[in-house]
Every structure is written in C-alpha cells, then in structure tokens.
Chain A
Amino acid sequence: MEAAIRVENLTKVFHNKKAEPENREIWALDSVSFKVEKGEIFGLLGPNGAGKTTCIRVIAGILKPTSGTAYIQGENINQFQSHLLRKNLGFLTENHGSYEALTVKENLAFFGSFYEIRNLNDRIEDVLKQMGLDGRKEMKAGKLSKGQKQRLAIARTILHEPEVLFFDEPTSGLDPSAALKVRNLIIRLKRKNRTLFINSHNLEEVQKLCDRVAILDQGKIKRIGTPSDLSKELWDTQEMTCTLKTPVSSQIEAKLASLDYIKHFRIEDNKIYIHSNDVNETTPPIIKELVNLGAEILEVNRTRHSLEDIYLKLMKNEIEWGK
C-alpha cells in the first residue's frame, strides 16, 4: 500500500544575507528521508531549530524544497498543485493563526468554507463540543486564553476531517489537563485510521503517543524507529545502579576498575552506575565484591532507558565514564 507520506532526500537551505559569509547558508533540512504509513502516529523529535517546522511546511507545500521531494498519498508535491493536495490535510501551526477580531464561530466558518463539508454548521458545533469550546462560540478569538486559542486552532485543523494531519508542538503552552485532552484527541484520530505527524520537543509525549519516531538534529535524521527499537539500538549495554550508605571509597573504585565483566562505571558520591552486557549475570558477583570490601548497600536498581536517555545521549556530548 502507498505510504501516507513519503519524504525523499528532502533538503531546504535558507539564505541569511545579513549573517557572516560562512554562516549565510542554513541547512534547515539536509537530505531527509522517511515514510509515514497510513494510520500511523509519527513523531518528529528534536530541539528548537532542528528543522521540524520547516519539514512539515515543505511537505504541506507552503515552502518549496531546495532539492528532494515528498509524496502525500502518492502525489508528488513538486508536480501536483499543492493547494489541491491541501484539501485533504490538516495543519496545526505553531502560532494559533486565528483571526482575533472574529468570533470563534466566524473563524471556523471561514476556514471551513474552503472544504466540502456537508453540513458546516453542525460540524462546527460538533468540533467545538469536542474541544470544549461550545460555551465560547460567540466570543472574539482574541479574548480567549492561550489554551483556548490552541484548542480553537486544533478545532480548525480537524474541522474538515482530513486524512493526514500535521501537529506542530500540539501541547506546548498547555496546562497538563489540556495537554492530556489533546493527546486523547490524537489517539481518537488514530482510531479513525487517520495519519498523524507530530512535531515535538517533548520526549515524554512522543514516547507515549507515537508508533514511530525520528530524531532530527540540525536538519539531519539521527535515528528512526519505534520508541522501544530506539532504546534497544542505542543501549546495547545495560545499566545497574547501586546506592551505598556512605560515599564510595577509592578501594571500591579500584576494585570495580579491575573487574573485566564491567564495561564501564561511573561514581557519583554514594552512587555507582555500572554498565555490563547482561545485568542478570553480573549483578550478583558485583554485589558480592562490594560486600567483601565492606560496602553497606542500601539499594540496587536496574535502569530502564526511556527515549529521553537516548535523546539526551544523541543531543549532548556523552557523559564521561570511569572506564
């Protein structure tokens, strides 16, 4: 089956004429390729300035790629008239983008009028209810709170029931309960077999929601896969943490350095972080050694790696290890 979105060697270079000659070219996207299957929630994760917004703007046809291309439901964005492709797209922009001088309802009526919606008024009512804005219909959009503006923008994005939806930082600036509502909405959309593309720098969110994640940094895709695949790929070794009653002695440190089944370890005050190939096999002998050296053990843990660890590992320089 045709992928909902297929991106091939997509590159976008910005030219900043005011910058120093060597910084004039900004490679916001540098030969990016990936696929999003129909019905999938795909997350594009990366720090600010990674190129996430640029990526979805190019796919939606409002920025022209420098090179490469993307296909939406099989149609090449470079060949097909992009405004016709947009009929079937929903796009939540970073800025809410509603008309502040118009009421909530007028905003939806305007944006909705460009799509073939059978009964627009009923659909508006329906969407406002879903987004908890039915009491604010006649209010000017400019008078809404930040969270309500975001919900109005989401209402606009889903109004015409598009097959493919892009959400740029959907929960940024929302309080936890509003963010939860948005996540639930995204899950409901997935149940309707919609394809969702979520830009986020919120790892927890991406990990909870997405079927697959691509990690983008400085315009390049660093990793791509399911959240659990990524964990496995990046952490071939496993970690245990051991907390002692007193700060770790140099004697213990020397001993740990001499054990060859320990790949590397790190000491922070009274905590020892130890990496090995198989925590199940190495934990008992390590504890025996520690006890023999007189260590008073308070706690032993196995660490589970979240996407956050992977992310931090990719983004920051790796933590300094003792071996």
Chain B
Amino acid sequence: MIVDIKNCVRIMKKDWKTTIKNKMILLPMILLPQIFSLVLPPLMLIGVLIDPEGIIAAFGNQEQFISLFNIPESYNQYLIGAEIMTRMMILPFFLFIPTFTAIIIASDSFAGEKERKTMESVALLPISKMELIFGKVLTAFIPAMVITFLSFIFLGIEINLMFLSHLDGNILIFLDPIWLLSVFVLTPTLSYVNILITVIISSRSKDFKSAQNISGVLVIPIITLMFMQMFNPAFMSPLMIIILSAAIGGVCLIFMDLANKLLDIERLILTL
C-alpha cells in the first residue's frame, strides 16, 4: 500500500494546532518529563556527592560494578558512584518520559476528533486509512522524541554540572553507550509501538479520558523493564537493548497491518 507521507504530515500539523493547544494535554506533557529529568536526579545523586563509598557499598561490590558496567579506569569514587546511580535508578525512570508523552497525545488522536465532532470531515478527506493512522502516529511520535532528547540533554548537563569539580576531564552519560542506545534506539521503537496501540485504543474509545485510562495499561511493560534494570543491573547491556529494540520493531510491523484492520471508520462516524 502506498502511503503519501505529505498527507500524514498535513494531519500531524493540524493536530499540533488543535490538540497540543489543549492545556489538559500540554501541561502534563511538559511538566512530567521535567520531574523525571531535572528534579528527581539531583535528589538521587546528592548522596553520592556526600558519601560515595557508602552509596556504592549500599548497591554492592564496587569491583563487580566496574567490570559489569565497563566503567573507565580514569573514574574516581564520585564518578563511579554517579555512574552506578544513574544507570540503576535514573535510566529506568527516564524510559517513562516518551511513553508518558506519547500516551497523552495519542489518546486524543481519534477520540479528540470525535469529541470535536470533526470525525466525519476527516473520514471524507481523500486519504487512505494508512495515511490517517500514520499521520496520527507522527503527531505523538515527534513531540515525544523531541521532549525525550531535550530531557536527555538537560539531564546530562545537570549531572555533569553537579559533578563538575570531580570530573577530571571525564564526561558522564553523554558518551555512555548504554545511555545513547537507550535514548536513541530503544526509546523511539518503544514509543512508536505504544503510540500505535494508543491510537487504535483512541479510535475505539468514547472519549479522550477513557482512551487515556485504557492506554495507561501500556506503562506496565515499561515498569517491568524498569524493575528488571533496578534489580538486575546487568540486564540493560548494549546487546540486550539492540535485541529488545529489534523485537519491538518487529511487533510494530505486525501492528501496522493490524491497526489498519482495527481502525473502523464506520464505527467512528456512527458512534458520534
């Protein structure tokens, strides 16, 4: 099936103008990532600055972590403590940001058209179902990615500033392959599949609120990932991230076709 990407972009731009203006959507979308990327991390890292040995000991054996996490030899106690803390406590939370943003925006995709009584106008556009779905996915995907990438940059700057006097020419997070793969490979695929599912849920819900409630279930796999990383620090290896992303990518391909079947325009118009 040929998808004219221009049609998808037109839908996306219109959605940004109508949906994202909505304070119910915009506020949580901007505030929550700030909490995860700017407010929580310093609170978690402050202990490392005060007593690095104590914090490291609380997590386990320092030598084990150094080999497990491939921690550079040039790292001092403070940086080793920061590395362990960010990897185990901050990275898992960070995976929440795109999913959260995506669910908020994607919940509105079709339920919003229904609530605004514009669904029939949209159905009458000379575009295919696939173009409509893909346009709705882009509407949520791009802001979710922008917010995630910005949060990553802010978080990195913040952490490096916190440990500025201990850096000795090292840089935290920004050069760490686990962080880079998580933010730029795992997060996009995870968000994409979540958005796709939420868009379909939205097309079958009676309004934005109930779409959001049902889509909330999608955070369960993310929480699972989060705990796996917290309790088993070795879980998130570069190889694991790539395998996970590839598996999720495969799910996306199957879902794209399923989404096309599940999007029932007739039902959307008739249940106005």
Contacts and interface: CB of A to CB of B under 8 A. Distances in A.
B241 interface: no
B7 A114 contact: yes
A100 B266 contact: no
Contact of B124 (A91, A101, A102): A91
Given A62-B269, A63-B266, A114-B10, A97 B118 contact: yes
Residue of A14, A91, A97, A102 most packed against chain B (CB within 10 A): A97
B261 interface: no
25 contacts: A62-B120, A62-B124, A62-B265, A62-B266, A62-B269, A63-B266, A83-B126, A83-B127, A83-B128, A84-B126, A86-B124, A86-B126, A87-B126, A93-B124, A99-B14, A99-B17, A100-B116, A101-B17, A101-B18, A106-B17, A110-B10, A110-B14, A111-B125, A114-B10, A115-B126
Interface residues of B, number: 21
A3 to B, nearest CB: 22
Interface residues of B, dominant DSSP? helix
Contacts of A84: 126
Residue of A62, A86, A87, A106 most packed against chain B (CB within 10 A): A62
A60 interface: yes
A83 B125 CA distance: 7
A95 B126 contact: no
B17 A95 contact: no
Interface string A184-219: 000000000000000000000000000000000000
Contacts of B117: 95, 97
A114 B127 contact: yes
B124 A99 contact: no
Interface in A98-125: 98-102, 106, 110-111, 113-115
Interface residues of A, number: 28
Interface of A: 14, 57, 60, 62-64, 81, 83-84, 86-87, 89, 91, 93, 95, 97-102, 106, 110-111, 113-115, 156
Query: Sorted from nearest, which 8 A-B pairs have the closest CB atoms?
Result: A97-B121, A86-B126, A87-B126, A62-B123, A110-B14, A101-B18, A93-B120, A83-B126
A111 B123 CA distance: 12
Interface in B39-96: none
A20 B265 CA distance: 26
Nearest to A101: B18
A99 B17 CA distance: 10
